[in-house]
Amino acid sequence: MDYKILDDVELGNNVQIGDYVILGVKPTKDPVNPPHQGKLIIGENSHIRSHTVIYLGNKIGRNLQTGHGVLIRENNQIGEDVSIGTHSVVERENIIGNRVRIHTNCYIPEFVVIKDKAWLGPGVTILNVLHPPCPKWDECGTGIVISENAKIGGNVTICPRVTIGKNSLIGSGSVVVKDIPDDSVAVGNPAKVIKKVSEMKCDLGYYEVPYEWESE
């Protein structure tokens, strides 16, 4: 296998690593004296697919799945049973809970909190700076929260300082510019709440309401 495991990398048992993966990259803000980030820790039974690059300082639970060409920058906290799809980017210092699914071509900037069982469809883009470029972006770029079990449709854009409530659903292509309450369906540009999740119907008739299987 043709991959690189650099210094300060700790792998659990039965981690599968594809070709051209690089684990343990140091950040290079200062190429002469790059800051020490601590170990990269990846839990057992993870599957790191080809061309994935993961930096130092990440603490990742068991059963991580990456698609091809995933980039995970430094100092993230990532829970168990997380899937990150092909060509997605996770920047530094995010908190990602357990059983989170991030699909293909998603962009997660710095300082985002994604809670347990959240689901991000393909092409979701999260933006964390109100007025880019901003010299204070490390201070103003915080505050984005995607709550437990929220579902974000494909090609949604989530703007800075937004909280998406627990169990909510954001329709595909929406632009979220303000907080979305728990258990809500929001669509459009800008996204507006149109109903409660409990008011949705399964158009194909497989279920009385969508997501009823989650209570099984």
The residues assigned a catalytic role are 131
With contact defined as beta carbons under 8 Å apart, do 34 and 16 qualify? Answer: no
With contact defined as beta carbons under 8 Å apart, do 168 and 153 qualify? Answer: no
With contact defined as beta carbons under 8 Å apart, do 179 and 191 qualify? Answer: no
With contact defined as beta carbons under 8 Å apart, do 45 and 62 qualify? Answer: yes
Residue 173 in tokens: 């292509």
* 3-class SS of residue 137: helix
Integer Cα distance of 95 and 113 in angstroms? 5
With contact defined as beta carbons under 8 Å apart, do 92 and 74 qualify? Answer: yes
Integer Cα distance of 64 and 27 in angstroms? 22
As a residue count, the chain comes to 216
* 3-class SS of residue 176: strand
- In what helix (H) or strand (E) does residue 158 lie, and over which residues does it extend? strand 157-158
